[in-house]
Amino acid sequence: MQLSKEVAKKIAKAGIENRKKHGLPGRKKQQQKIILDNKK
């Protein structure tokens, strides 16, 4: 149980770092992805 908690923390941390890099929240990013997919 503790192991999965640690892994989840690492994944969450990576997600936050990713958002900071792109300077926008995750939800916005997903919307942009959908828009790009629709344009193709």
**DSSP readout, 1-40?**
-HHHHHHHHHHHHHHHHHHHHHTS-HHHHHHHHHHHHHH-
Domain parsing of the chain, residue ranges: 2-39
The pLDDT value recorded for residue 24 is: 59
Per-residue pLDDT of the chain (40 residues; tens, 9 = 90+): 577 888 888 888 887 787 777 665 556 656 666 666 777 6
